[in-house]
Amino acid sequence: MTLLERTYRTIDLVRVKSNEAIVFCSLGKDSLVLLDLIYPKFDRVVCVFMYFVEGLEHIERYIKWVKAKYPKVEFIQVPHWNLTYILRSGMYCVPNPKIKLLKLADVDLAMRLKFGIDYVFFGMKKADSMNRRLMLNTYPDYENAGKVYPLADWTQRDVLTYMRQKVLPEPVRYSNKASGGIGFNLYCFLWLRKNYPSDLRKIIKAFPMSERILFEYDNGTK
């Protein structure tokens, strides 16, 4: 059985139980591949994007592409669960001790209840980390209590190969050194200042003290 056949087996095992699916879509490589694999299989697909700052232009471009490419998708944006830790601790902002700390499982449950859908797909891979490998190895058919991981056996090379074959767009890379989504790091802020200064202003407005990242760089203090 090929990698793709094993992947579709995991998806099809869910499809016989439900014609609806939720996909956590970060707009990164893994989640775009996952969405492309799932989309033809289900009658209803809800994409959940978790943001740190809402309405960033360079993110909205990719959301528009997803909606055009997969027209039956329902796309929802919700605050990232990590924001609760950032806001409560006061990372680059005034701390708010009243914020209730959340986890991914809390957002997962909220989306299931909101849309009445039992199965949620994630793009996590064993190759991501040792912890991911240990976790995914414990799930038969890469499904656990409605959480589904079809890309569990994929490598980064597999993901890139699939993207080339399907002509999927390359997600934003803030630098050769940085990985993942947007965050409070110098490489991300430099990329935004050069390419999307209006998005940088939105982030600094939401997290005023984050301006220190560029200030220290520009003044050689870090």
The pLDDT-based confidence of 178 (bands split at 50, 70, 90) is very low
Q: CA–CA separation, 61 vs 161, rounded Å? A: 23
The answer to whether 38 and 14 are in contact (CB under 8 A) is no
pTM greater than 0.85? yes
Query: For a pLDDT cut of 70, what percent of the chain falls above it?
Result: 97
What residue ranges do the domains of the chain occupy? 3-171, 175-222
Task: List, in sequence order, every beta strand (DSSP E) within the chain.
Answer: 20-24, 44-51, 74-79, 120-121, 143-144, 147-148
Mean pLDDT of 196-203: 97
**Do residues 154 and 136 make contact, with C-beta atoms less than 8 angstroms apart?**
no
Looking at residue 179, what is its pLDDT?
Answer: 56
**CA–CA dist 89, 97 (Å, integer):** 7
Q: What is the pLDDT, as a whole number, of residue 66?
A: 96
Which carries the bigger pLDDT value, residue 198 or residue 173?
198
Helix (H) or strand (E) holding 220: none
Res. 5: pLDDT tops 60: yes
pLDDT band at residue 136 using 50, 70 and 90 as cut-offs: very high
Q: Which class does domain 3-171 fall in? A: alpha beta
pLDDT tens-place string over residues 84-133:
999 999 999 999 999 999 999 999 999 999 999 999 999 999 999 999 99
- Could you tell me the sign of the dihedral formed by the alpha carbons of 150, 156, 162, 168, in that order? positive
